[in-house]
Amino acid sequence: MKKIVCRCEDITEEDIIKAIDEGYTDLEELRKKLRIGMGPCQGRVCIQLVIRIIEDYTGKKLSKVSYPNPRPPIIPVSLGTLASDKHEKKG
Amino acid sequence: MKKKADVVVIGGGVNGCAIAYNLAKKGLDVALIEKKYLSSGATGCCGAGIRQQWSTKENVELAIKSVKIFEKLSDELKEDIEFRQGGYLIIIHNDKEMEQAKENVRMQKSLGLTVDILQPDQIIDIVSILDIKGMKAIGATFCPKDGHANPFKTTFAYAKAAKSFGASVYTHTKVTGIQTEKKSITEVNTDKGKIKTSIVVNSAGVWSKQIAEMVGITLPNKPYRKEIMATERLKPIFDAMVISFKDGIYFSQQKEGQIVGGIPIPEEISGYHTAPTVSFLEHMSKTLTSYAPCLKHVNLLRHWTGFYDVTPDARPILGEVEKLNGFIQCNGFSGHGFMLCPMVARILTDYIADNKSTQILEKLNLERFKGKNFDKEVYIVG
């Protein structure tokens, strides 16, 4: 039975443990290796689960500092919507 | 931590890891120090492009030779770095740009590059979603052998291969000082221990300046925040990277399907700024949808920042400095460190391991800035 952790990129618990075994124990490293948190959910589904897997598997507590930076926008926005902003700077 | 090494490499970006690999392969004892994790600086934020079309000869030469290495790098490192050659399409907007393009294409061809000037209707054959009128294009140059690779995978693959040849990689380790005696290096101090060495490679990206200051050397490099965005995944539409020097925009479709691109913001000033700006979203979305109107229906997923380590001539600083023996620079890439890394690492390795210098090293050393006349690279985007 497979346990899907990251639904956007189709990453399983097994994939994460395999990467940890290869030495990718930093959350950001795992993110760059497996693309977890880079899909449409922006990590809202997977990151907490990944943190738990790392902590359970390695036995070390992750510091909050090492959590991935939130990257705007909070929800996906179409390029057309962003481009339609008529706001002009003064001066 | 090991007590001594032949070479200490500072910085675990793609250049530091590539140098560590090449040196270790030659049999040297290498220690690589990275303050965060591998690819945590500019490498991990970059646009993944690999370009050979430049305005200065040294950059073209470095890039052509780097692509030759990239073509076989997955085999060499025994990891798939996702290298692919979809070409770079450089949009030309006016007669002045066309004149410059003709001159540069002539120079690039003389160095052996396959590159051509395209008419507006030929542009659509390369990237079908582009709008000639929206871009205000009068032509383009195209090199089919330019391309992309995955920067994280390339960095991790270099580091893994370096370790297989005996290099030690210390992440989450900060360099706190470099000890010297007379005109030579004796030791590198870190927060995890000390390593005796006589050679230090400074490949710390925008933090190279602080490393050089530890030994009293001033680098002219300035950090600039650069912003970049990724859209949701789409079916494969185009293979080429599209860039414009007039608008500063670059964008391409990645292997997974997302469109990744960047553009400079007009109000940018030098400094260690990392916050993404609303101004970027405005400029990027407006320019991108004028280039490819159909993308207005596509969602932007995320937007992040990285650094360009910019030198006065927008070209890297490479090689040993006059003031301190064994202090090797590998920084100041001005936004192009990833694409040039394979050849830069080899040139520096030849210098360190075999004492072999090349014309490129002599042209790109720190001392060039003493004079007022240096060739400036003008083909810059992002």
Q: State the DSSP string of B222-241.
A: EEEEEEEEEEEE------SE
Query: Would the CB atoms of B298 and A79 count as touching at under 8 Å?
Result: yes
| Residue B139 maps to a domain | no
The CATH number covering residue B28 comes to: 3.50.50.60
Query: What pLDDT shows up at residue A69?
Result: 77
Contacts of A69 in chain B (CB under 8 A): 304
Q: How many distinct helices (H) and strands (E) make up chain A?
A: 4, 3
Q: Cβ of A73 under 8 Å from any chain B Cβ?
A: yes
Position A89 scores a pLDDT of 52
pLDDT score of A70: 77
**Residue B130: predicted pLDDT:** 98
- Select the residue of B39, B281, B304 nearest A82 (Cβ to Cβ): B281
Q: Which of A82, A86, A90 to mutate to test the interface with B (most CBs of B within 10 A)?
A: A82
Q: Is residue B344 part of a domain?
A: yes
Torsion of CA B287, B289, B292, B298, to 10 degrees: 130
Q: Give the model's confidence band at A32: pLDDT under 50 very low, under 70 low, under 90 confident, else very high.
A: very high
Distance separating alpha carbons of residues B186 and B181, to the nearest angstrom = 7
- Tell me the pLDDT band of A67, cut-offs 50, 70 and 90: confident
Q: Give the tokens for residue A53.
A: 């897997």
For residue B19, tell me if it sits in a domain: yes
Residue B151, preceding bond cis, omega within 30 degrees?
Answer: no
And the tokens for B127?
Answer: 């990237």
Closest CA to B31 of B12, B7, B15: B7
C-alpha dihedral (B124, B95, B52, B366), degrees to nearest 10: -150
Radius of gyration over every alpha carbon of chain B, rounded to an integer in angstroms: 21
Task: Name the residue ranges covered by the structural domains of chain A.
Answer: 4-63
The pLDDT of residue A44: 86
Contact list, B168 vs chain A (CB under 8 Å): none
pLDDT value for B165 = 98
Residue B13, domain member (yes or no): yes
Q: In which band, very low, low, confident or very high, does the pLDDT at A26 lie, cut at 50, 70 and 90?
A: confident
Residue B197 belongs to some domain of the structure: yes
Q: Residue B179: exposed, middle, or buried by beta-carbon count in 10 A (0-12, 13-18, 19+)?
A: middle
* pLDDT tens series, chain B, 382 aa: 999 999 999 999 999 999 999 999 999 999 999 999 999 999 999 999 999 999 999 999 999 999 999 999 999 999 999 999 999 999 999 999 999 999 999 999 999 999 999 999 999 999 999 999 999 999 999 999 999 999 999 999 999 999 999 999 999 999 999 999 999 999 999 999 999 999 999 999 999 999 999 999 999 999 999 999 999 999 999 999 999 999 999 999 999 999 999 999 999 999 999 999 999 999 999 999 999 999 999 999 999 999 999 999 999 999 999 999 999 999 999 999 999 999 999 999 999 999 999 999 999 999 999 987 788 898 888 8
Evaluate whether ipTM surpasses 0.95.
Answer: no
Nearest Cα to B46, choosing from B240, B223, B279, B306? B306
Q: Where are the beta strands (DSSP E) in B116-207?
A: 116-118, 139-143, 147-148, 168-170, 175-181, 184-190, 193-196, 199-202
**Chain A CB within 8 Å of residue B69 CB:** no
List the domain range (segments joined by +) for residue B326: 7-46+152-221+313-370
* pLDDT band with cut points at 50, 70 and 90 for residue A90: very low
Residues of A in contact with B303 (CB under 8 A): 71-73
Q: Which residue of A has its CA nearest to B169?
A: A23
What is the architecture of the domain spanning A4-63?
Orthogonal Bundle (1.10)
**Number of domains composing chain B:** 1
Provide the pLDDT for residue B345.
Answer: 98
pLDDT at residue A60 is higher than 80: yes
Q: From edge to edge, which strands make up the β-sheet containing B30-33?
A: B168-170, B30-33, B7-10, B199-202, B327-331, B317-320
Chain A and chain B share a number of CB contacts under 8 A equal to 78
**pLDDT score for A87:** 58
In this structure, are residues B91 and B140 in contact, taking their beta carbons and an 8 Å threshold? yes
The structure tokens 């720190």 sit at B366
> Considering the domain boundaries, does residue B18 fall inside one?
yes
CA dihedral A46, A51, A53, A58 (to 10 degrees): 160
CA distances from A29 to A23, A25, A35, B44, B152 (A): 9, 7, 9, 10, 9
Give the per-residue pLDDT at B1.
95
Residues 31-70 of A with CB under 8 A from B: 32-33, 35, 38-40, 42, 69
Q: CB neighbours of A84 closer than 8 A, spacing ≥ 6?
A: none
